[in-house]
Structure 1
Amino acid sequence: MKKYSTKTWLLTASDLEEILIQTGPNRFIDLLIERLTRGLENFDSSSLEIPIRTGFNYQAAPEGLVEFMPVHEKGKEVVLKVVGYHPHNPDLFDLPTILSNITTYDTKTGHLKTIMDGVLPTALRTAAASAVASRAMAKPGSEKLGLIGCGAQAVVQLHALSRLFPLKSIWIYDIDPKAMDNFQDRIEGLELDVNLIRSDIETIVDTVDILCTATSIGVNEGPLFEHYNCQPHLHINAVGSDFPGKLELPRNLLLESTVVPDFREQAKIEGECQQLQDTEIGPDLKQLISQPITWKTIQKGMSVFDSTGWAYEDQIVANLMEELGRALGVGQGIHLENVSSDVKNPYHFISKPVQV
């Protein structure tokens, strides 16, 4: 009988930080962009099951949600991310808006293979997805980037896009002036030679080549803007729409653009695609990346990447984190599951009879 490992590889938040330190942030994000691109090019729907995420949302203050994002790669593993979205966390509890963890399971045995923080991987894979989409859809050589919403996601969006585009000016806006005040400090470690410009939403939309919207706008409070006179090649990574009724972009702009969702069925429920009919939605991300012949046409016009967050991206970043962690000796194996030499005796640990 074949013996399987009974240890679960644990990667804490500090472990993941150490992986990035030892690997280097630039090298890591480059690897992640490469892995995601290759994964999309070789995506096999016959071997992957990825349902729409589900969970619980609650409107009583402080409102939020907890969702479950699974992916099943047949014959190999199940990856499950549990993610909480609570927009009032930074102000009320000094916590990130998004908190999460990722677990992976061996489908041969059900054994819990790994468990890791999901906050940092989620931020990184979201930014990597925007970079992959932008490379296919944005004007090559784009130099002007707009960031509406200057929270944690804005930092990694800037980082990932800077690896593919020769960015020179970064136009920023946030409803919270403090987020703009300290944005320069938060990107200091990226060592980017860029000009940071504070502006208003309308000016940013009308000026930049690539725009990332990553806001916590409330349900039924959108869009962020109505009027626009943007560049004919404007590409938008719409990251903040992740809940039914939550929208960042005006419908008219979507209708003038090629709209590419990360996960079509999910985006129709809680992405910008809520506003569109099926015939008004373009190819999804995996279709786009597998058909580079279409990129030049899309790059000439306006385009939108409707990024709601896809469990396949979680699988890719989780596997990369585990691979690098084991190679670097970061993390630890723990006995989390109750497995004994006598698998038919749940009381194997009791050395004498129990008196009742």
Structure 2
Amino acid sequence: MRREGQAPGKGAELVRLVDVSKTFGTKEASHTVLQDVNFSIVSGEFFILLGPSGCGKTTLLRLLGGFEYPTTGIIALDGVDLSNVAPHRRPINTVFQSYALFPHMTVRQNVAYGLRMLKWPTDKLNARVSEVLELVRLSQFEGRRPAQLSGGQQQRVALARALAPSPRLLLLDEPLSALDLKLRKGMQAELKRLQRETGITFVLVTHDQEEALAMADRVAVVDGGRVLQIGPPEDVYTKPTNPFVADFIGEANLVAGELFGRPGMVLALRQESLTFSPGPGRMRGVVSAITFLGSDILYEVKVGEGQTDLRMRGRRETTPKLDVGAEVFVDWAEASEWWMSK
């Protein structure tokens, strides 16, 4: 039987967090950054912690890596409590934002460093370094130093070094944040490929919603030190459990339920699910702003006697061409709406 919170189609439970909290400071001046966190991570999945700056996601990653210890609760790997186990005693590796490469070492020496510390035999070490360099497509650069590499290549060196000992869990702290947009897109595909080919469980921290949706098997949305929702990207996007998740993941219109006779409720409507109707439609409004977005057009429409702004995004070729001030009827398919409590 699959346990609660376990991703379908993957292996057995690898990590479990039980009532994990983390407080910094003293009793007189304390600050709780994580509170009552409970979830599991399955062997072989790509798990992403997503949330805004200061939400607690990086602290959560550091707890998994052993760089911080929980104030309360249990962090277990393969059923063994690691809550107070030092980082070097965990079968877990971390790729930091800065990559932390040794500038005086070659690519091969950087990748081999961790294996040397683990006292791998020379022949086995050399074979493994060659294997992971080929995996990250850097074999031809093994004699270069970090300063002679691009940002994307440096990141792949850091990944190779972390993958070399075949850890049970690989942690990645916003690894793509320093890359430009085009390179970031390419590295998203590279990370997915590496995770798939190695079968190692990846846990990645990011504040980029598009990045999370593109790469994750499951996403955990974090805010205010709590995990608000966990699930496959499509479920988190189409079936948010609260207004924060709906607004943070993608672009959503949040409409007060009072407009539809449902007090205490909020209706989430994705921008791309809205259409203009010749009338009558679900809501009548007036176009208040138009933004050109290349292949798309973004319309802002005031509805409900001007009290609510709806944002509608559509393809430029198929969306009606309207001017500011035009009266429109806004419509959407019933299947695309999602109600939740405030």
Answer with 1 or 2: which has the greater Rg: 2
The higher-RCO structure (CA 8 Å, 6+ apart) is 1
Q: What TM-score do the two structures reach when normalised by structure 2?
A: 0.24
Higher strand share: 2
